[in-house]
Chains A and B, each alone.
Chain A
Amino acid sequence: SQQGEEDPQALSIQEGENATMNCSYKTSINNLQWYRQNSGRGLVHLILIRSNEREKHSGRLRVTLDTSKKSSSLLITASRAADTASYFCATDASADGLTFGKGTHLIIQP
């Protein structure tokens, strides 16, 4: 079963704007990770946030985690055409690998 659920399912914005994606999950977690997947390619790890962290930055990426609401958000600032991809959140709740959501398909229009 898929624990994480991303919202929205699809997002289209203009280049230069900020993109925000949300993820909700159901059970307690050790950490939450965000991945990017370009069309026809494998998954690329973007950022990990641990359950005791509330916010983390990496370049143009900002991730927040609210364990009380079991939710996370991924913000991409100053979007670029190359950011067009699907973005997945994945939760690490046990030693049994990651559980992925269905993803948000992001389109950056030039």
Chain B
Amino acid sequence: EAGVAQSPRYKIIEKRQSVAFWCNPISGHATLYWYQQILGQGPKLLIQFQNNGVVDDSQLPKDRFSAERLKGVDSTLKIQPAKLEDSAVYLCASHELVRVDTIYFGEGSWLTVV
């Protein structure tokens, strides 16, 4: 079974530039999450989708971050404009609709803002 795919794996951008990350969850997984993990800390939930609808985006900095999952499958997370403090790993995770006890994470997209 293919895992959660994320790209790019690594990205370095200057502050005020924009960046987009892509996630393809495991086939059939209705629920998709984006987490932000700053070095030395645990992951923090940014947004949760169920199919193509947003369940929770209360911790998403909406002035600069946006995310979509238009067809209920893959998802993109965009940051525009980036700040130095956005340097982190962006993790995508997914699970089947009723199997919240089995969540699969991608390898993450590492962002460095300089």
Is there a chain B Cβ closer than 8 Å to A78's Cβ?
A: no
Query: Are A96 and B55 within 8 A (Cβ)?
Result: yes
Q: A95-B55, A96-B48 are in contact. Are A41 and B101 (CB under 8 A)?
A: no
Interface residues of A in 39-62 (CB under 8 A from B): 40-45, 48
Q: With a CB–CB cut-off of 8 A, which chain B residues contact A48?
A: 101
Interface residues on B, range: 20 to 34
Query: Are B55 and A42 within 8 A (Cβ)?
Result: no
Q: With a CB–CB cut-off of 8 A, which chain B residues contact A11?
A: none
Q: With a CB–CB cut-off of 8 A, which chain A residues contact B93?
A: 43
Q: With a CB–CB cut-off of 8 A, which chain A residues contact B25?
A: none
Query: Are B104 and A102 within 8 A (Cβ)?
Result: no
Query: Are B44 and A96 within 8 A (Cβ)?
Result: no
Interface residues of B in 36-62 (CB under 8 A from A): 40-45, 48, 55-56
> Contacting chain A: which of B11-19, B67-75, B105-113?
B105-113
Query: Are B105 and A100 within 8 A (Cβ)?
Result: no
B25 to chain A minimum Cβ distance, whole angstroms, is 13
Q: With a CB–CB cut-off of 8 A, which chain A residues contact B103?
A: 33, 45, 98
Complex Cα gap A43–B6 (Å): 13
Q: With a CB–CB cut-off of 8 A, which chain A residues contact B106?
A: 42
Query: Are A2 and B44 within 8 A (Cβ)?
Result: yes
Is there a chain B Cβ closer than 8 Å to A71's Cβ?
A: no
Q: With a CB–CB cut-off of 8 A, which chain B residues contact A101?
A: 42
A81 to chain B minimum Cβ distance, whole angstroms, is 22
Complex Cα gap A103–B42 (Å): 6
Give the 8 A-B residue pairs with the shortest CB-CB distance, closest first: A100-B42, A43-B105, A42-B105, A42-B107, A96-B56, A97-B45, A100-B43, A48-B101
